[in-house]
Structure 1
């Protein structure tokens, strides 16, 4: 395959993925996190401040300002919602769904901005794969990441997960190239990429230790004709300069508001920040005040488990992080063809530098998230490692492999495409075949892995097919007989263990039976009328769970 053909195919692959994202954007309701994310971005664009008024905005960073730009531009152009109403009237959406989108139009506009990061991920994976493997491997890696359900789902939400995935990939790519040939242009580009990554998600701070690990990789994989000492010196110098540029970009992202911060000025609610204040409290750090304030709040919330709900895995709730959480979540929520291609990849000595560079963020994020954090509420936290995993899997199309193995890899890639298209728009709730029927998904994971309140549209359509008074949508604490519809995350007690405790007990005793799911995220139970209040006595509460 020529490079030109590979580029055309890659464009088609990313184009099809973008179409699936577009469908998902307008076929799903707002997730639990989107209102908070958008509110923070809106405050930056319209008010020019970075204050976080509530705990749910502690982790938000300036990249979210991009999501509010469509609203700002629309106001400047004098556009009103009637234009959107006319456009939506041409679709197959129901009246209630169209009204919901119009009422939340700014956030849906922000979703379109998030989708642009998906395009960027596809471009970078293809470009890096082309450098390492050539056309076939680059196309294979692009196909795998483009049709990864978890990425498709989060690229359709106005949150920071897709942006962080793009930014971390761009930063590591730029760093890897800069360490190989530390020119001023490459160092500047790496600094810009790292600085932008710091503006997307606090987990991107892992780029600091990763950069040092990459210095070690560059030194250890130096060619025999290179002096390891000189390579190490040049690499360290490049990383220091990259860090300086990144801090300037970070301050620029906060509009240079309070760019130097003394830790004695902060509340330092977390133990980590308290320890740092004890060591360097009198030093003015070249980091924005609001960046450090948010970091302190995030660390404190993780330390005290005051945000995000309990950790849920395999039917068990925990107030602390579980080391096996991300390993199991990855095994259950990644398409099997993707996993098989990663496990079966060939390793080549001449690729040792890039292979180790790709493995470094995978290993770092996996260990940090599994052992260093209590807040394990979604595979989305590990999403930045998947582009590197796809690049590793691209070796399945290595020209040194037998033709039949490359054909098998292509067949597996096609299966991944078909599966992704088939599951549209249920990407957030995607599970592979290891769990059997999707209705069983709540037994394994919850929260943003399954139910992030994204399936209201399908719930409303389900309601239209039911007779009034024959089902219950809000029976959190008091038993009801008949059909009871419940959010999966509420059923398992992620947010409040007392919620639907009666239903969990009835299900365990065989007096309530799961008979269906709606959009994967809502579960329909048939409750025995002999053991709870009759439906005719209890009355019905309307409105989707969570409202």
Structure 2
């Protein structure tokens, strides 16, 4: 037994000796470079998705005018930061009527009008300019940079918890996550929130061990930035002090050895208050303090929660938040929600199990396996791990109970880097001494890499093999999980390859297909096609109705409108999101 113990300690020492600082930095650089290549290459081949249609133009409009009246419930940073590179381009956006806009979607429509078409000097007709898609690429590169930051934060957090090998494992899992690659290359708030969430949890972990004025400022900066990425992060302003209170209770029940230099309890709570105030200041700074401290009585509320609050508090009470940010909270609470789809069923009120099922079918099987092994063989969770576990569990429970926004696994994208950090514990402590477990980790990591490489560039419709893969994704989920209007470029290339001049088309999305040079006739629900070739988006085919072909005047409401085509074998399925049918000639 002594020989075996010496052998194990010797092998561990060899592994530590092999992983020098230089090699560690090289591996980190290679992982980030690979992630950038995968994300950027995929972004170039995917057409503008539903939410991108309005996010980038709205960000550009805010930069040009400073007008934030449309930023009620719309993430500020995820729109403004990707739009910054456009200021150095010739992208056009008429903002003269922006004050009359009631929705950021109108900015998206104006951006199409100003940039998507140009007049042919010979024929005098409007033709695609070819620039519309190109204007979105710099903004997508900004999102990819945030994706790399997310992977780096997963690495740093896991490294601080478990050591360098664990940090590298966490980074590998994050870098090759199909879900992070899918949404990390789009101009949407999800990857921004993922980065901010993991930063908040790591900062809170560091703050718990060293509650200083400086760390309180860092924690506040992370909290405020997260709220500017997405209103969901406001929950952290409640969760973080709750976790501190929980730890205080545990410390009283199970006292631990006092930490040298740790401030007394009342000072710790003072520093926590400083963090929360700093976070609120960051939010106000993000909105340039517009309307901060406006009296509560000046606001009109539609949501039940905000009306109850307004009735309970005096109208003169100043609201310590920017006007449009505060109105955004109200807009989110008043929103009625969306039609949800889960496992062949539609529901206007959502499903409690939606996000749990989404995670199980959209997360690669090797990652699910490693998460389970980390729980079984990683030992009891430590105090330092509890904030991350509690944050992940609370937010998953919150979204599951909310139900009114069951529209994509992207809403819980922040769980992906947390899962990566959790998996890192397999290469630390007693778990790392199990030879079979190390081989399992290595094999699973290799499988994840293969999965990610073979899924390229179609990351949005990724479903794991346990669920039947992307071709069976519609049996489980729709919307942004499968089809978000991302394959118009693939359709154009297919038409060129097959020499198809015109096609009957029903495309899920707000971008007019003509922007990408697709000559088409709109196929309405229940209508017989006139052209020999027909293309239908997966969402529309399987019953999730939305704007068709960018025509805001046509939004069918019959989920069986394209049912007849479900019985026909498609000639091709482009990117797992557009079904192409060849009809019998008349």
Question: Alignment partner for residue 60 of structure 2, among 17, 42, 51?
Answer: 42
Question: Alignment partner for residue 75 of structure 2, among 55, 60, 66?
Answer: 60
Tell me by how many angstroms 1:407 deviates: 2.2
Gaps of 5+ in 1: 77-98, 530-534, 537-547
Question: Does the Cα contact within 8 Å between 2:352 and 2:403 map onto a contact in 1?
Answer: no
Give the equivalent residue in structure 2 for 1:285.
319
Give the equivalent residue in structure 2 for 1:255.
288
Give the equivalent residue in structure 1 for 2:119.
none
Tell me by how many angstroms 1:42 deviates: 1.1
Question: Does the Cα contact within 8 Å between 1:337 and 1:415 map onto a contact in 2?
Answer: yes
**1:70 pairs with 2:85:** yes
Tell me by how many angstroms 1:232 deviates: 5.1
**Pair 117,470 (structure 1): closer, same or farther in 2 beyond 3 Å:** closer
Distance 1:71 1:502 in 2: 39
- Please give the residue correspondences for 1:91-106 in structure 2 after superposition, counting only pairs within 5 Å: 102-106=131-135
Tell me by how many angstroms 1:209 deviates: 2.2
Q: Look up the SS of the partner of 2:385 in the other structure.
A: helix
Deviations along 1:151-170, whole A, 9 cap, x unmatched?
11111111111111111111
Question: Alignment partner for residue 379 of structure 2, among 327, 348, 362?
Answer: 348
**Pair 155,231 (structure 1): closer, same or farther in 2 beyond 3 Å:** farther
Question: Does the Cα contact within 8 Å between 1:320 and 1:374 map onto a contact in 2?
Answer: yes
Give the equivalent residue in structure 1 for 2:516.
none
Give the equivalent residue in structure 2 for 1:452.
484
Question: Does the Cα contact within 8 Å between 1:43 and 1:50 map onto a contact in 2?
Answer: no
Give the equivalent residue in structure 2 for 1:545.
none
Question: Does the Cα contact within 8 Å between 1:59 and 1:298 map onto a contact in 2?
Answer: no
**Pair 460,147 (structure 1): closer, same or farther in 2 beyond 3 Å:** same
Give the equivalent residue in structure 2 for 1:147.
176
Q: Look up the SS of the partner of 2:300 in the other structure.
A: coil
Question: Alignment partner for residue 308 of structure 2, among 259, 262, 275?
Answer: 275
Gaps of 5+ in 2: 1-15, 92-127, 506-521, 547-555
Question: What TM-score does the superposition give when structure 2 sets the normalisation length?
Answer: 0.79
Distance 1:223 1:499 in 2: 62
Distance 1:101 1:260 in 2: 46
Give the equivalent residue in structure 1 for 2:331.
297
Question: Does the Cα contact within 8 Å between 2:180 and 2:413 map onto a contact in 1?
Answer: yes
Question: Alignment partner for residue 563 of structure 2, among 497, 501, 504?
Answer: 504
Distance 1:492 1:21 in 2: 28
**1:212 pairs with 2:241:** yes
Range 132-141 or range 430-439, more displaced = 430-439
Q: Look up the SS of the partner of 1:264 in the other structure.
A: helix
Deviations along 1:437-491, whole A, 9 cap, x unmatched?
5222222211111111111111111222335478521323233266532111222
| RMSD over equivalenced CA pairs, Å | 2.5
Question: Alignment partner for residue 436 of structure 1, among 449, 465, 468?
Answer: 468
**Pair 223,136 (structure 1): closer, same or farther in 2 beyond 3 Å:** farther
Corresponding residue pairs, total: 495
Distance 2:257 2:235 in 1: 32
Tell me by how many angstroms 1:177 deviates: 1.0
**1:328 pairs with 2:357:** yes
Give the equivalent residue in structure 2 for 1:541.
none
Question: Alignment partner for residue 224 of structure 2, among 195, 203, 221?
Answer: 195
Q: Look up the SS of the partner of 1:157 in the other structure.
A: coil
Deviations along 1:136-184, whole A, 9 cap, x unmatched?
1111111101111111111111111111111111112112211221111
- Please give the residue correspondences for 1:235-250 in structure 2 after superposition, counting only pairs within 5 Å: 235-250=268-283
Question: Does the Cα contact within 8 Å between 1:161 and 1:381 map onto a contact in 2?
Answer: yes
Question: Does the Cα contact within 8 Å between 1:40 and 1:60 map onto a contact in 2?
Answer: no
**Pair 101,377 (structure 1): closer, same or farther in 2 beyond 3 Å:** farther
Distance 1:354 1:65 in 2: 35
**1:493 pairs with 2:543:** yes
Distance 2:279 2:502 in 1: 58
Tell me by how many angstroms 1:526 deviates: 5.8
Distance 2:489 2:164 in 1: 41
- Please give the residue correspondences for 1:357-368 in structure 2 after superposition, counting only pairs within 5 Å: 357-368=387-398
Distance 1:394 1:130 in 2: 8
Distance 2:470 2:582 in 1: 18
Distance 1:278 1:235 in 2: 34
Distance 1:492 1:43 in 2: 36
Give the equivalent residue in structure 2 for 1:176.
205
Q: Look up the SS of the partner of 1:152 in the other structure.
A: helix
Question: Does the Cα contact within 8 Å between 1:44 and 1:50 map onto a contact in 2?
Answer: yes
**Pair 181,455 (structure 1): closer, same or farther in 2 beyond 3 Å:** same
Tell me by how many angstroms 1:225 deviates: 1.8
Distance 2:169 2:141 in 1: 26
**1:477 pairs with 2:525:** yes
Question: Does the Cα contact within 8 Å between 2:526 and 2:562 map onto a contact in 1?
Answer: no
Question: Does the Cα contact within 8 Å between 1:439 and 1:516 map onto a contact in 2?
Answer: no
Q: Look up the SS of the partner of 2:327 in the other structure.
A: helix
Question: What TM-score does the superposition give when structure 1 sets the normalisation length?
Answer: 0.85
Distance 2:487 2:208 in 1: 45
**1:29 pairs with 2:47:** yes
